[in-house]
Chains A and B, each alone.
Chain A
Amino acid sequence: MKIGFYPGCSLTGSSREYNESVAMVAKALDIELVEIKDWNCCGATAAHSMNEELSLSLPARIMAMAEEQGLTEVVVPCAACYNRLKVTQNELEDEQKRARVVDILKQPYKGNLKIINVLQLLEAYGTENIKAKVIQPFTHKVACYYGCLLVRPQSILKFDRVEDPQSMDSLIKVIGGTTMDWAFKTECCGGGFSVSRTDLVAKLSGNILKDASDRGAEALIVACPMCQSNLDMRRGAINKTLETPIDIPVIYITQAIGLALGIGAKELGLKRHFVTVEL
């Protein structure tokens, strides 16, 4: 199957391993990813915090380019970009706002693109298909961390249960892993404050890691490059705030599935993590 693909700035920069693992898993599952031509940054937190029209125009251009390319469905692995695109699409159902954005872009915008995140893609592909291709069962006990942007706002995203989502957990179970019930599945990791307020990221991400670690998780599974970066790259800062430093790794869902499908650790980008991954 063929599907549109929007990597976003993180995947081509500081979260390269996510891009690599998505590409590897897609290949193994016979999914062709068609990258949107000349895509731009979605604006992330900065745009919507500073100016509404900017925050709508940037994602609108991405969707307009995808439509122009003839794509009907686009998978967005980065949870933040996914959230921005979906929310913008919803906002632009307002005719006035849409007219204004089309005027700025000078490009037609239909707004009927189907935007999905990487978990929805894997679910749509069919958990049975993935199960059939598992070579090396992922026999680990892990905590699935969804972060805030994958499931909220529920009225727009309409994806999974908002307080205790299960989609990632189901995928882990399919590849042979054990998941656990824990308390910080959707609490924010600190998001965009990685650089400007590293102390807050340390506190928030620290809480998440501590709860997972207390309950015996061998690793954290994520689907958002921001969360991964906060929990992994900033581990030094986090450990400074904790009594006992925690060393459990944080990997992407696509990396976990990739491992189960027999793809090598290097190809999946596991060597690029700050906290050593030995799974």
Chain B
Amino acid sequence: MSKIGVFICHCGENISATVDVERVAREIGEMEGVAYASDYKYMCSDPGQTRIKEAIKKYDLDGVVVGACSPRMHEPTFRKACAEAGLNSYLCEMANLREHCSWVHEKGEETTEKAIDLVKMLVEKVKKDKPLQSIKVPVTKKALVIGGGIAGIQASLDIANTGHQVILIEKDPSIGGHMSQLSETFPTLDCSQCILTPRMVEVAQHPNIKLYTYAELESLEGFIGNFTAKIRLKAKSVNYSTCTGCGACIQKCPVKKIPSEFNAGLGTRTAIYVPFPQAVPNKPVIDRANCNYYKRGACKICEKTCQVGAIEWDKEDEIVSEQVGAVVLATGFDVKGTDFFPEYGYGKFKDVLTGLQFERLASASGPTLGEIRRPSDGVIPKKIVFIACAGSRDPAKGIPYCSKICCMYTAKHAMLYQHKVHDGESTVFYMDIRAGGKNYEEFVRRAIEEDTVNYIRGRVARVYEKDGKLIVKGVDTLLGGEQVEIEADMVVLATAGIASCGSEQLAQKLHVSYDPYHFFAEAHPKLKPVETNTAGIFLAGACQAPKDIPETVGMASGAAVKVAALFSKEELIREPIVAVVNRLAPPLYSTCVGCFMCETACPYNAIEHEEIKGRDGSLIRTIARINEGLCQGCGTCVAFCRSKSIDIQGYTNEEVYAEVMSLLND
């Protein structure tokens, strides 16, 4: 015979104003199996919880129903209270008398009767409830950080500094990302590489960080605390343990005209190359697609030049398997190229550049060693036009969002140009100025007031070339729409920031959601910016949405703390609301016939195959087993199972049936 305690909450006036809570308590108290029923103003409060605990002890209750707000608010509260009084927490249920009753109906007889019905349902359910134990899952205290830009670097350092191991993988031959391509950063005009390279070196030298460059994620399996990551180490063709980084091979390589990715296509590199002089690791890789040896079997000059015999021609890609407990995604972003714009020349004008290409020109390590020169003829431009919002905020081009950083970097570019070319004339065509960060507005004003950058509000309809000059046809909307035509020497487009190449495939590999623009989806736009909906996978930086460096660093540290919190426990506690396939004694073993329809249905890949073997080791049957670490308790498999062999703990068929029948048997 059950001894259930029922506690009806007034919730201040939220419930009692509409529902006659005293009557509910009274009528439920008369039910069979209910040993104690009462009502109180605030059940979730300290005195309220004490009432539950005292009642459990005094009346030796074996089940508790709290008629109050939504379980999403206070189920953990009441379950904890029960546990403290010695009652298994899963024998405590909540009836939602607020969101499901008092908040959606008018005061009246029917509302109170609905409240009574709701509590009755839960009482019948609790009679069938079984005590359950939380599932404990071990945690591997190692993190995987995908992406070696500033986001990945910061996250790796923060996690490593908490004492945990980190594996950092980066698909390019060096870490550093886009920040290493910048010349100076806003709003301080710090030299970008000067502030970045110390961190890059710290990553390489940190005892807790294992760095894999020229590597990509092959696959990720498992669940939070227990991932298995397979990493493809692409063949570098250079043995890094032997290579000294002397650079002689790079000097002798005959294939010199490959467009350099690091210089955004403006400079060239060799087939055996280091992307930039401050690369970490500062050792070369061979670009097999362009190397004469791999293409035609000729050359091998680098091997002849190498004093230590570090060239490995026959090295294959290697797959390395690592066990990790958490993953941080920091894959960054890309920018649209000039070929995306029909009205600005389809990319055929050499002197129409993207913002990133301009950064390379301005950078001391760039193709022109920091002098702003036209790519077409090397002349220093006397007039530059900067076009903001090139592609962003443009539904017609499929990019309706704002790329956030362009207003700031355009102002920066104009300032850098004015600083380097004192008699130069720069014009910025803009729609709005978005300068919301700290010191950002002052920075833009400085560009306009001190550096005499000409800001015109209006967009540019087209750019064409005539006699070596670029004719820019814009408009000044603040003058009522007066057309402005400028004969410029160079045009810089602040092109839209987009998700980095391969984001969609990566998201699918990790089962992480992404938006229509292939930026990874955060779990909640306001309150959970660094988490994803996939437990154990976190986000940092521009892979979530275009953003500037301070925000990226902040987010990276945030993700690192989430990882550290995960690793601070020895075990992960998971709710036992998971599916279970029944097990019986031999010779039946289970009513499961091994059809694995459940496996096809499960969205979380939580169904495993379990082989039932005889004492002699021979296979008797293969049946389904639910991985309780992956199972989210959605119940799809329960509906699919034709032999009714699966049930959800805490919401068994019996329990739910009892709830439903209590309503119908009235």
Contact = CB atoms under 8 A, between A and B. Distances in A.
* Interaction A to B: yes
Interface of A: 161-164, 181, 183, 211, 214
Nearest to A155: B396
A214 B467 CA distance: 9
B465 A164 contact: no
Contacts of A181: 348, 465
Contact of B465 (A162, A163, A183): A183
Contact of B343 (A163, A211, A214): A163
7 contacts: A162-B342, A163-B342, A163-B343, A163-B462, A164-B342, A181-B348, A183-B465
A183 B342 contact: no
Contacts of A161: 342, 346
A163 B466 contact: no
- Give me the 7 closest cross-chain CB pairs, A-B, nearest first: A183-B464, A163-B342, A163-B343, A162-B342, A164-B346, A183-B466, A161-B342
B153 interface: no
Pick from B342, B464, B465 the residue with the most CB of A within 10 Å: B464
Main secondary structure of the interface of A (DSSP, over half): loop
A148 B346 CA distance: 19
Interface of B: 342-343, 345-346, 348, 462, 464-467, 471
Nearest to B465: A183
Contacts of A163: 342-343, 346, 462
The interface centre, meaning the residue of A161, A162, A164 with most chain B CB atoms within 10 A of its CB, is: A164
A214 B346 contact: no
Nearest to B464: A183
A211 B464 CA distance: 11
Contacts of B467: 214
Contacts of A211: 466
Nearest to A211: B466
A212 to B, nearest CB: 11
A219 B462 CA distance: 25
B257 to A, nearest CB: 24
A183 B471 contact: yes
Contacts of A214: 466-467
Contacts of A164: 342, 345-346
A161 B345 CA distance: 11
A164 B346 CA distance: 8
Nearest to A164: B346
A162 B341 CA distance: 11
Nearest to B466: A183
A144 to B, nearest CB: 15
B367 to A, nearest CB: 25
A163 B466 CA distance: 16
B521 to A, nearest CB: 31
A162 B396 CA distance: 14
Contacts of B466: 183, 211, 214
B471 to A, nearest CB: 7
A163 B344 CA distance: 9
A48 B366 CA distance: 55
A180 to B, nearest CB: 12
A178 B462 CA distance: 25
A183 to B, nearest CB: 4
Contacts of A162: 342
A161 B471 CA distance: 21
B274 to A, nearest CB: 38
Nearest to A183: B464
A120 B339 CA distance: 26
B493 to A, nearest CB: 15
Nearest to B342: A163
Contacts of B464: 183
